[in-house]
């Protein structure tokens, strides 16, 4: 039992997160190509709907935007554990298929009206990890050797909402957007459940619903200078209700709550006849979010939370409009790492947090009504995130997390993405 728990404890945050933190950096081909910067530079309706509802006030008429992206990720996880014959180390590479990222947005505003309305449905996060069974990497050892074999997870989060913007003056607008969320989560194994002699169980594909809101303000002057700010509240979710199955076919149930963090966004923009420039700064409040705030073990050996700190995001984007009907775009995004090095173990199967991302995109205007947009995204974690392995059976007053001597778990990931979108003025 002790040897099995030593190996089991390596996976205790089994593949919950496989993106840049828990937040997509942008939505739609245009906003992604601008590095996600849109709080003060509403080039397209999807970026405005996502980051600042007040900014939809710049659009007139009826506009619909539909985007679909293909995300390709290459996470790796490495673990080292002590054995009587010396350290044992190995690396596993994810074999999960690629992820689809959809988004749909609509904005309606009458010319010379103070009122603008919007609606959206965005794939905020959708990912999973599939690490195959291994005889060399301790975390993927076969069951007979004290490991878990093949480790998989699947998480999907969809956010929908309505947006409304009101022009206080020619230069200033305010906006509000209530949000509704649906998320599903499947874990194999499930670290939030109590372990038994048979280890940690696998789960069903559990569903949770959540709600929240966003407010924003937007300013622009005749010289092309723009400012924007928004606050998206913490999205309050219901519990994931897991139906667990252990390796000995016994069953149990447990609940786990994982909210979506509050986000503060500030933006600056500038536009003239040839270029649009955008800069956004975001603060993601993981340290105050249920499911992320706590960390460590319950009295029965289940994981209480992930212990993440707040994350800062910098987004830069530029659009060149000097070529008729063919705007060119480039963007860069930088994320700080919300995972504390000493707590890296509790996010081991998150595989990585993307730190640097570069985007290149363009649009082609078929007519005044129809525009095709495309973007290519490439990102890296800028090295491994790693720390010691913990075991609840070794926990005590002087070492409450139960450090496994001479152990380590680390992970890294690269991503690439292709996305196409259309914008149509009805």
Q: Residue 143's pLDDT is what?
A: 61
- The candidate with the shortest Cα–Cα distance to 94, out of 135, 24, 153, 144, is 153
CATH of residue 298's domain is 2.40.160.60
Instruction: Answer whether 387's CB lies under 8 Å from 342's CB.
Output: yes
What are the counts of helices (DSSP H) followed by strands (DSSP E) for the chain? 3, 24
Q: Domain of 273? A: 29-425
What's residue 124's pLDDT?
80
The rounded distance, in Å, linking the Cα atoms of 119 and 108 is: 9
* pLDDT mean for each 10 residues of the chain (426 residues): 38 39 85 96 96 96 94 85 88 82 93 95 79 83 67 84 97 97 88 82 91 98 97 96 90 92 97 97 94 87 88 96 96 92 77 84 95 95 84 85 86 90 94
- Residue 350: inside a domain, yes or no? yes
Q: Are 173 and 57 in contact (CB under 8 A)?
A: yes
Domain tally, the chain: 1
Tell me what pLDDT residue 147 has: 62
The answer to whether residue 11 sits within a structural domain is no
Position 271 in a domain: yes
- Write down the pLDDT at residue 352: 58
What predicted TM-score, i.e. pTM, was given to this entire model? 0.89
Residue 3 lies in a domain: no
Query: Which pLDDT belongs to residue 14?
Result: 36
Beta bridge partners of 212: 179
| DSSP-derived secondary structure for 352-417 | ----EEEEEEEEEESSSSEEEEEEEEEEE-SS-EEE--B-GGG--SS-TT-B-TT-EEEEE-EEEE
Contact 149, 121 (CB under 8 A): no
Residue 9 lies in a domain: no
Report if residue 251 sits inside a domain: yes
In a domain, 1, yes or no: no
Instruction: For 313, list phi and psi in degrees, rounded to 5.
Output: -130, 130
In a domain? residue 334: yes
């Amino acid at each position: 039992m002790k040897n099995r728990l030593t190996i089991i404890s390596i996976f205790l945050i089994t593949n919950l997160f496989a993106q840049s933190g828990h937040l997509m950096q942008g939505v739609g081909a245009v906003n992604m190509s601008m590095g996600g910067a849109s709080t003060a530079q509403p080039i397209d309706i999807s970026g405005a709907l996502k980051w600042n509802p007040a900014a939809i006030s710049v659009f007139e008429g009826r506009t619909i935007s539909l985007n679909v992206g293909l995300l390709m990720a290459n996470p790796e996880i490495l673990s080292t554990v002590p054995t009587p014959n010396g350290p044992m180390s190995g690396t596993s590479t994810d074999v999960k298929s690629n992820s689809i990222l959809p988004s749909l947005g609509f904005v309606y505003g009458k010319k010379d009206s103070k009122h603008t309305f919007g609606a959206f449905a965005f794939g905020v996060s959708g990912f999973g990890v599939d690490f195959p069974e291994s005889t060399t990497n301790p975390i993927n050892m076969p069951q007979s050797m004290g490991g878990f074999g093949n480790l998989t997870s699947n998480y999907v989060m969809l956010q929908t909402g309505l947006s409304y913007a009101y022009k206080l003056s020619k230069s200033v607008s305010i906006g509000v957007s209530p949000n509704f969320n649906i998320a599903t989560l499947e874990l194999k194994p499930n670290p939030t459940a109590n372990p038994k002699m048979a280890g940690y169980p696998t789960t069903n594909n559990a569903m949770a619903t959540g709600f929240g809101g966003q407010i924003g303000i937007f300013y622009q002057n005749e010289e092309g200078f723009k400012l924007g700010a928004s606050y998206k509240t913490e999205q309050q979710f219901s519990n994931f209700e897991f139906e667990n199955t252990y390796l000995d076919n016994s069953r149990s149930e447990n609940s786990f709550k994982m909210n979506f963090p509050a986000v503060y966004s500030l933006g600056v923009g500038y536009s003239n006849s040839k270029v649009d420039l955008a800069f956004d700064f975001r603060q993601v409040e993981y340290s105050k979010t249920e499911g992320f705030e706590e960390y460590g073990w319950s009295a029965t050996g289940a994981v209480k939370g992930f212990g993440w700190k707040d994350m800062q995001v910098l987004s830069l984007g530029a659009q060149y409009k000097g070529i008729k009907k063919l705007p060119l775009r480039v963007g860069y995004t930088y994320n700080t790492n919300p995972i504390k090095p000493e707590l890296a173990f509790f996010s081991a199967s998150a595989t990585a947090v993307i730190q640097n991302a570069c985007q290149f995109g363009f649009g082609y205007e078929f007519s005044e009504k129809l525009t095709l947009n495309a973007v290519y995204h490439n990102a890296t974690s800028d090295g491994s995130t790693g720390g010691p392995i913990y075991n609840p059976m070794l926990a005590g007053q002087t070492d409450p997390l139960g450090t496994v001597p001479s152990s380590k778990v680390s992970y890294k990931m690269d991503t690439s993405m292709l996305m196409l979108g259309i914008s149509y003025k009805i």
